[in-house]
A and B are shown apart, each in its own frame.
Chain A
Amino acid sequence: MSNGTLEIKAISGHSGKSAGNGVSRDYDVCKLIDTTTCIGCKACEVACVEWNGYEFRETTFDNTYQTMPETAWNFWNLIKFNEVETDNGLQWLMRKDQCMHCEEPGCLIACPADGAIVQYTNGIVDFNQANCIGCQYCVTGCPFNIPKFNAATKKVYKCTLCSDRVGAGLEPACIKSCPTGCLHFGSKEDMKFEAAKRVKQLHDNGHADAGVYNPGDPDGGSDGSIGGTHVIYVLNDAKHPENYALPASPSVPIFVKLWKGPLKWIGGLGMIAGLAALFGHYVRYGPKPLHDESDEGRRAQ
């Protein structure tokens, strides 16, 4: 679903830089989800399916309020309901789950197909199914379990942060549908400011553990090596993101980094060095002579 009106910052499986990099004046976009004012109405789920033109899929009922156990290839936005026992009694936590649009996306790093995953200058990470080869390496690279495979089309799908709407100057569909105003959309700077304001309000109201979930962001917040996300949360208990089914310190798996980093370079340089060494050997020593010339060895040459 890549969008031509947005400038591309990074391309999966691509040699060299993306063309025209660094010419536009796009700013980082960000979605802010204030879980403390989410009422779990699921309007965002409906808006997402509506806007992206999918039919409502079959689902699994597991005795919770949750529409289905996890997001699906044609269901990118899911309110997760978590029940947590605390000293102050039971907490019923609702969190809108979708692609986090990482600054350093594990899916894009892992992807081998040229142009199947792109990252726009504004921070949106988008899948381009036309170039997807269905290897699902992106699934292994994602710390949030977001990309989902469609066995029929052999392609992987996920939330686009409505790159088509954003490219046309609109906010994402989920934002538009939210009745409580717990969803915000704007520049990353503004959203961080809004989040901090809300956290201070929560602190003043006695919610001492409230905080922002923006893992790996250089400005601080939480741990992780993904360089911050373009979807950030205000959590009532930011010390325990696991309570919201969020990883405490999400990172691109170490073996993905080793494979796409050192192994690729050592392997590539090793192959070139090997070819050079063999050629050098041939020039120095040449082919093996037959040292028993008494027999008819002519055909060997």
Chain B
Amino acid sequence: MSDNIVVSHGTDLRKGEIVRYTLKERMCHWLSAVSYVYLLLSGLALFSPYLYWIAYILGGGPTVRFWHPWVGLVFFFVQMWMHSMWKREMTVTDQDRQWSKTVKEYVTNRDDKVAPAGNFNHGQKQFYWAMFYSTLVLIITGLLMWFPELVSLKAHGLMPLVIFLHCTAALVTIAAFMIHVYMGIVFVSGGLQGILWGHVPISWAKTHHRLWFEKVQREDRSRISSSEF
């Protein structure tokens, strides 16, 4: 390690870099991501006969049926942890509404015409809330599906609806997840680096989250590598 590295918020910063996500935020995100991917694969296996082969890869049908609820529980608690960290950050503001008016320019890379974004842009916030509310539906329906034998026989007529809602909420998360992965890994280059190791170039922060960068500049200098100033 060269000595022009500073450590801030559990993140190695080189010259011209800024802490995008703290170590805690990254850990939370990746716990959530890994558990989600397992839930996605095991859930898809049970969703369609054409994808049941995934169950064999994951150890067989009964194994999938055993682990899916447990991992679901992990995912739920990680989501709640994330919520405690980010719920304030995810509140939709007037700036977000301005940004949304320019979303067409955003997705077509006419970035000079895009309204500046804060820590999270409106699209990221919508992704977050789609996941959050879907998770609530999934955990409630999922707990009933975990132990259907404990659901009273009088309420058994509701179980098809419960399973239907579980599938529907899962499909909502899949749509959101596909866009999220595309944006994070493919479309917005540099985004993956930020959520993996926490540091992004200041130019990246200025481009994609200008309002946030200006706020950090004003209020939290420890996030910016000191050699920059």
- A joins B in a complex: yes
B202 at the interface (CB under 8 A from A): yes
The 8 A CB mask of B30-65 against A (1 = contact, 0 = none) is 000000000000000111111010010000011011
Among A22-30, A223-231, A249-257, which stretch is in contact with chain B? A249-257
> How far apart are the CA atoms of A247 and B169 in the complex, in Å?
32
B65→A134 contact, CB < 8 A: yes
A281→B149 contact, CB < 8 A: no
CB distance from A50 to the nearest CB of B (A): 27
Among A53-61, A182-190, A289-297, which stretch is in contact with chain B? A289-297
Contact of B48 among A110, A268, A285 (CB under 8 A): A268
The 8 A CB mask of A204-233 against B (1 = contact, 0 = none) is 000000000000000000000000000000
Given A133-B62, A300-B193: A291 and B49 within 8 A (CB)?
no
The 8 A CB mask of B85-96 against A (1 = contact, 0 = none) is 000000000000
A267→B190 contact, CB < 8 A: no
A300→B65 contact, CB < 8 A: no
A290→B65 contact, CB < 8 A: no
Provide the residues of chain A in CB contact with B149, threshold 8 Å. 136, 149, 151
Given A112-B46, A151-B149: A300 and B201 within 8 A (CB)?
yes
Among A84-92, A139-147, A158-166, which stretch is in contact with chain B? A139-147
B206→A295 contact, CB < 8 A: yes
Given A133-B64, A136-B148: A300 and B47 within 8 A (CB)?
no
Contact of B159 among A139, A267, A278 (CB under 8 A): A139
Chain B, Cβ-Cβ closest to A116: B61
B52→A113 contact, CB < 8 A: yes
Q: Give the residues from 149 to 170 in chain B that come closer than 8 angstroms, CB to CB, to chain A.
A: 149, 153, 156-157, 159-161, 163-164, 167-168
A141→B160 contact, CB < 8 A: yes
A179 at the interface (CB under 8 A from B): no
Contact of A267 among B65, B108, B167 (CB under 8 A): B167
Provide the residues of chain B in CB contact with A149, threshold 8 Å. 148-149
Provide the residues of chain B in CB contact with A131, threshold 8 Å. 61
A288→B161 contact, CB < 8 A: no
The 8 A CB mask of A253-289 against B (1 = contact, 0 = none) is 1111011000110011011001100100110011111
B52→A112 contact, CB < 8 A: yes
Chain B, Cβ-Cβ closest to A134: B65
Contact of B157 among A253, A259, A270 (CB under 8 A): A253
Contact of B174 among A110, A132, A271 (CB under 8 A): A271
Given A131-B61, A288-B189: A300 and B200 within 8 A (CB)?
yes
> How far apart are the CA atoms of A296 and B4 in the complex, in Å?
15
CB distance from B21 to the nearest CB of A (A): 15
> How far apart are the CA atoms of A103 and B93 in the complex, in Å?
57
Provide the residues of chain B in CB contact with A298, threshold 8 Å. 201
CB distance from A115 to the nearest CB of B (A): 10
Given A112-B46, A139-B148, A282-B187: A15 and B52 within 8 A (CB)?
yes
Contact of B182 among A253, A278, A286, A289 (CB under 8 A): A278
A40 at the interface (CB under 8 A from B): no
A289→B109 contact, CB < 8 A: yes
- 29 interchain pairs, CB-CB under 8 A: A13-B49, A13-B52, A113-B46, A113-B52, A133-B62, A134-B62, A134-B65, A139-B159, A140-B163, A154-B62, A253-B157, A253-B160, A256-B163, A256-B164, A267-B47, A267-B171, A268-B48, A271-B178, A275-B178, A278-B182, A288-B189, A288-B208, A291-B111, A292-B203, A292-B207, A297-B190, A297-B201, A300-B190, A300-B204
